[in-house]
Amino acid sequence: MPASFTAPNGADPALYVARRVAAGLITADDMRYAAEREKARIISRTGRGIDVKGQAFAAYSDRYKKRKEKSGRNSGIVDLTWSGRMLKALVTRNVTAKSFIIGIYGEEGTRATAHNQGGGHMPVRKFFPTRQDQDIAAINEDLRTRRNARLQGTPLNAA
């Protein structure tokens, strides 16, 4: 289940980034930094029980909540973590100066899709991908921060 970078204000993302790449303003390392920071934001937001729209996730069913309590894994927050494998499977791929992909693949990707889309007994708990203006603004700020630090000779490490 991949997600990709999109440009602010509805601009064509390929053109938006291409202009900055052509001007030497964005490198693949800059984009990797922004991608890793966005991945960390997704994990952090999900761990706080917040969806992509800034709302609390739908509550767990009573049955599932009891299972989590019995296992000692119930924090009282719907954080989409039983074992932690799904969020640990969030990876960054295909990073170039022009784009990146953040996704969850394989069995954990199937689980992530079930949470995002809901269905059957599971309500929609959309935690992924990045779509909100504030996420896009944060990615752009990360690119600016990384670029400025690099141009000043003090590159930042990836998140």
Q: Give residue-wise pLDDT tens across range 30-78.
A: 899 999 999 999 888 888 888 888 889 888 878 878 887 777 766 677 7
Q: Which of 43, 116, 48 is closest to 78 using CA atoms? A: 48
| Strand 91-93 relative to strand 101-103, pairing | antiparallel
Pick the residue with more confidence: 89 or 3?
A: 89
pLDDT attached to residue 148: 84
Q: What is the DSSP letter of 6?
A: -
Residue, of 2 and 149, whose pLDDT is higher: 149
Which contacts (CB < 8 Å, 24+ apart) does range 50-57 have? 51/125, 51/126, 51/127, 52/126, 52/127, 52/128, 52/129, 52/130, 52/131, 52/132, 52/135, 53/126, 53/132, 54/132, 57/125, 57/127
Name, in order, each residue with C-beta under 8 angstroms of 126's C-beta and a sequence gap of 6 or more. 51, 52, 53, 115, 116
10-34 tens-digit pLDDT: 666 666 665 665 556 788 888 999 9
pLDDT at 138 exceeding the cut of 60? yes
- What is the arithmetic mean of pLDDT over 80-88? 77
Asked if pLDDT for residue 100 goes beyond 70, the answer is yes
What's the pLDDT at 134?
Answer: 79
pLDDT of residue 159: 47
The model's pTM: 0.74
Q: Band the pLDDT of 6: cuts 50, 70, 90.
A: low
Q: Quick one: tokens of 130?
A: 């990045």
